[in-house]
Structure 1
Amino acid sequence: MNYLEQGIQYMQEEKYEEAAQQFVQAIDENPTEPLGYVNFGNLLLHMNDHERAERFFKKAIEVDEQAATAYYGLGNVYYEQQQYQKAQQPFQQAIQKGLEESDAYYMLGLSFLYEEHFKLAIPYLQRATELDKEDAEKKFQYGLCLAQVSELDMAMETFQSVLELDPSHSDAHYNLGVSHLYKEQPQEALSHFDKAIELNPEHMLAAHAKGQVEEAIGKQE
């Protein structure tokens, strides 16, 4: 087991000081190899030391401009500080440099979503779900984005697929309820609001929506 492998194992065991020592050894042994800097950056990011993590990811890029994981790490530094616009470029660069992984597309999609650039977010979130078909949360965020641009049928289909993966996903039920309201289907909406509340009794949005729908139905009777 080399220094990097040992450091990663220590990270997984939450032995962060030991992990740091191994990554320092890896960097000292091979200072022109970007992975030592990337892994040390990941460790610092995990410890919420954003300033030093940024420096290590930038050093990895300086050593190797093709180090896709370094760009991805740098994007995460900015994303975790809610600098979503700043995060977009390194996430895009990570993908351009060959990081064809679901998480890279997902994080780029989220960085557009939280800036409310929903149409820009959709293709990246869609690609994230294609690369990781079993991740309910990625599908849910994709569904939210579709709903924001009024693609209701596709959004509802996506929320249903979320529930197939995770039947306890109360937010998927809530958003299905909202979608049914837009389609003027109050009874179907109510059933999803009820299910959301059953799954999460603290779901205030579902409780509020349920009350409004019941009030509207009462006035019609």
Structure 2
Amino acid sequence: MDTNQQALQELQEGNMEEAARLLNQAIEEEPDNPVAYINFGNLLAELGEAEKALRFFEKGIELDSSAAAAYYGAGNVLFNEDKFAEALTMYQQAHKAGLDDSSLHYMLGMAYFQSGRVPHAMASFKRAVELDAEDTEARFYYAMSMAQNGMVEEAVAEFHVVTEQDPEHADAYFNLGVGYLHTKGAAEALPYFEQAIEIEPDHMLAHNGKKEASKLLNE
């Protein structure tokens, strides 16, 4: 096991100081190897050191312009800093460099979604779900994108799958309530708002939805 692999093992076990020591050692042993810089970037990102993490990812990219993991790591740091346009560029670069898993497409979707580019988001979430049908959050945002694109019935079907995969997903039940309120009426919608509140008692949107549905039923 080389120094980088030892560092990764320590990182996975939560031994940050030992991981940092080993990564420093790896960089001293092989200063032109991008892997140690990328791993150090991941460690710093985990510690919330965004600016330092970015510098290490940038160094990794400088040493290997096809280092998909460096672009992806940088994208995550930028996304967490609410720099969605910059994050999107990094995720796109990671994809060009050969990364093509469900996690990347989910984060691409999130960056598009947060940037208001909903059709692009929907396509990315769709791809994430195709690659990993069990990715509940990707499916949830796929449904959200559908709803925002006016595909309410299709969104409702996906929200139902979300609640099957995660019966405690309050936001999915709330959105089912909204979907049924617009397509089938208050009587169909009300149980979903109630279910969302049962799971998350302070879900204000669900309380508002329940109030609206109850009002319509009493008119």
What's the TM-score bracket when you normalise by the shorter of the two chains? over 0.9
Q: Does 1:204 align with 2:216?
A: no
Secondary structure of the corresponding residue to residue 215 of structure 1 = helix
Q: Residue in 1 aligned with 2:75? A: 75
- Indicate the larger mover: 18-27 or 64-73: 18-27
- How does the TM-score come out when normalised to structure 1? 0.96
**Equivalent residue number for residue 18 of structure 2:** 18
SS at match of 1:37: helix
Superposition deviation, residue 136 in structure 1: 1.2
Q: How does 1:188-203 map to 2 (within 5 A)?
A: 188-203=188-203
CA distance, structure 2, for counterparts of residue 210 and residue 73 of structure 1: 41
What's the CA shift for 1:31? 2.1
Deviation at 1:116, TM superposition (A): 1.4
**Partner Cα separation in structure 1 for residue 129 and residue 35 of structure 2:** 27
Letter paired with 1:68 = A
Query: Does the CA-based 8 Å contact 2:68-2:93 persist in structure 1?
Result: yes
CA contact (8 A) 2:170 2:197 kept: yes
| Structure 1: stretches of 5+ with no match in the other structure | none
Other-structure match for 2:62: 62
How big is the shift at 1:104? 0.9
Amino acid in the other structure paired with 2:191: S
1:214 aligns with 2:178: no
Task: Show CA shifts across 1:127-161 (max 9, x none).
Answer: 11111211211111111111111111221111111
2:14 is matched by which residue type in structure 1?
E
Residue equivalent to 1:102: 102
CA RMSD after TM alignment:
1.1
* Residue deviations 1:91-129 (CA, integer Å, cap 9, x gap): 001011111111111111101101111111111111111
SS in 2 for 1:150: coil
Q: Tell whether 2:177 aligns with 1:182.
A: no
Mapped to 2, the partners of 1:216 and 1:164 lie a distance apart of 28
Q: Secondary structure at the match of 1:92?
A: helix
Count of matched residue positions in the alignment of Structure 1 and Structure 2: 219
TM-score (norm. length: structure 2) = 0.96
What do residues 29-59 of structure 1 show as CA deviations (whole Å, max 9, x unaligned)?
Answer: 2222211110000000111111111111010
Identity %: 42
Q: Which residue of structure 2 aligns with residue 173 of structure 1?
A: 173
TM-fit CA distance, 1:184: 4.0
Runs of 4+ that moved beyond 4 A: none
| Alignment partner, residue 85 of structure 1 | 85
Distance, in Å, in 2 between the alignment partners of 1:16 and 1:128 is: 31
